[in-house]
Amino acid sequence: MDTAATLAVLALLISLLSLFAAVVTARRQALLAQRANDASALVELFREYRSQPLASARRNVRDHIKEWAPENGVEGLPDDVRYLLWFFDNLGVLVAHGVVESGPVIGWLGGSAVSMWDLLQPFILAERTNRPRGLDPNRYQEYFENL
């Protein structure tokens, strides 16, 4: 192989290595940007979870659950408790669709989500039974259930 051909092959190899490095760097930057977005979203979700209204709703569930009739479904629950249900269901949507990673959510809210689900499940199941058939009642609060 002559000098010109060797230089051409060397230039091609350098170009391919440069392209590979650029692709790896771009992928890493995209991953870092996604993590920054996840962190921002999680901080906001955790802030809302710690807020007075949701803390009060969790306390309301723990203190008054026995006073409420499960057969009335979710509609029979106080507004703050329904808001708590929607929070968990919306959080479940974000986790299920990969908008936020499940690890931090489960690590921080997992026990609370499970205990709230255990307490509120009879109301949700009754709501599924009570809802009109055209609304696909079995999907009601399914993201909370899967969370």
Cβ atoms of 124 and 140 closer than 8 Å: yes
* pLDDT of 57: 96
How much is the average pLDDT of 71-85?
Answer: 94
Q: CB-based contacts of 89: which residues, under 8 Å, 6+ apart?
A: 141, 142, 143, 144, 147
Record the pTM: 0.73
pLDDT for 104 beyond 70: yes
Q: Is 145 helix (H, G, I), strand (E, B) or coil?
A: helix
Count Cα neighbours of 56 within 13 Å in the Cβ-side half-sphere. 8
